[in-house]
Amino acid sequence: MNIRNKLVAVLTATTVLGFVLGFPPKYGPCKVKCRTLGLRKCFRICRIATGDSIAFPCWKNCSVSINGPNAANDLSGCIQQCRVGKTCDLASNKTRLLKILKEKEPLEGPLFAKDGNLYIVLYTAGEIRRVDLENKQTIPFVNLSVDGFNGMPLGLQNGPGNNIWVTDMRLGLLKVKQNGSFEQVATKDNQNEPLQGLNDLTFDYHGNLWITAPYGPIAPQNFTDSEKDPFGSVYCYNMTTNEFIKLATGFLYPNGIAVRHNSDGTPAKLIFGSFYNKTAPLWSFDIVGPCQIDNKQVWGNLPANSYIDGMDFDEKGNLLVTDYHSSILYVFDNNGGTPTCQLKLPFKHLTNVQFRPDSKELYITGDELWKVDWKYKGMKQYWEIA
């Protein structure tokens, strides 16, 4: 435990104690700052909801330069901005979190393919591997490369047929057969522009494929990305018409992607994150037709300075979102806004999540591969209902 963690523990304990004693909880560092500024009603300015905690690094950065006539508002604003919910309930308190394996390279894109096996990508190596869950090891499956350019796969999904669909930051969209042979599905969009490098993908229940594309053009162009220029895009691929459509652009490193459906199974809302945006927004669009979107909105935010990476819905409509930098999985209910609860994982970088089909087993990739018994089953995937 370093000094900062100790401080956080003490502050959390203070909050819990306040709650036990029946005072409305307040955030300690806020009270200190509030008093230093000579403000009044600090107990009100620094109040937090029962069960909430405040992310200290976020708070520190947010509040450091607060001064002047708007100080009270700004402090409350930082409380809102840096608020994190309570720890999520899991299916069981006994086997909460289980480590499966670690590789030399970071892991991404977990997928249970139609053969029942779990697959992951080692993106820096350009590899897709099969996971032997029993023996807790990985088995080489395919190394992606086209015309001498190595792939960097980031996302995997099941589509129609037995193909695994792959989004790759260098090679665009690929389809991999069960025997490991693969093909590039598209290198250009319907305007004949080269595809941007891709990150994550999801099929809606009507079979449209939605994709985030944070990078510059794919190989043979040199690789480009940016922490500052919002040139990231969202694509949709219609496999019936074979159209690859750029739907929207101007996003700062769009990452993760999920579709919420109405109760009759109609695709209703497209949601994705923005990895490098300090306010950590989850953007949403209404889905108004096949590969058609409208009404861009901020659907929710992670605590400021989070790095949104991967996401999936559970069967209750909760959206589970990973933060690459804080070890935390955040959970949103149907209404978005701020997270309703959070789960701290015992490894540093989280990338993506995937449920085993028809089960509560949630697999989380990053520095390592872990399993969590979630409280609910995952939302059914397109291939499970089609």
Ligand X SMILES: *[C@@H]1O[C@H](CO)[C@@H](O)[C@H](O)[C@H]1NC(C)=O
Residues that bind ligand X in the complex, under the rule CB under 6 A: 61, 89, 92-93, 127, 140-143, 177, 179, 181, 206-208, 220-222, 230, 238-241, 252, 274, 277-279, 281, 290, 298, 301, 305
Pseudo-torsion of CA 213, 219, 223, 229, nearest 10°? Answer: -40
CB of 34 or CB of 128, closer to ligand X: 128
CB of 13 or CB of 298, closer to ligand X: 298
CB of 41 or CB of 188, closer to ligand X: 188
Task: Enter the tokens of residue 311.
Answer: 């996401």
For the CB of residue 220, give the shortest distance to ligand X in the complex, in Å: 5
For the CB of residue 237, give the shortest distance to ligand X in the complex, in Å: 9
Only one residue has tokens 């806004």, namely: 337
For the CB of residue 240, give the shortest distance to ligand X in the complex, in Å: 3
DSSP 96-157: -EEEEEE-SS--EEEEE-TTS-EEEEEGGGTEEEEEETTTTEEEEEEE-EETTEEP-EEEEE
CB of 40 or CB of 87, closer to ligand X: 87
CB of 40 or CB of 298, closer to ligand X: 298
For the CB of residue 46, give the shortest distance to ligand X in the complex, in Å: 18
Q: Quick one: which of 80, 52, 84, 81 has its CA closest to 279?
A: 81
For the CB of residue 28, give the shortest distance to ligand X in the complex, in Å: 20
Angle at 97 between CA 91 and CA 101, to 5 degrees: 140
Kindly list the distances between the CA atom of residue 355 and the CA atoms of 163, 313, 361, in Å, as whole numbers in the listed order: 19, 9, 6
Only one residue has tokens 């963690």, namely: 5
CB of 187 or CB of 238, closer to ligand X: 238
DSSP 307-329: -EEEEEEBTTSPEEEEETTTSEE
CB of 46 or CB of 142, closer to ligand X: 142
Cis peptide before 69 (omega within 30 of 0): no
For the CB of residue 177, give the shortest distance to ligand X in the complex, in Å: 5
Distance CA 359, CA 330 (A): 20
Asked if residue 288 lies in contact with residue 272, where contact means CB atoms within 8 angstroms, the answer is no
Q: Quick one: which of 30, 23, 21 has its CA closest to 80?
A: 30
For the CB of residue 127, give the shortest distance to ligand X in the complex, in Å: 5
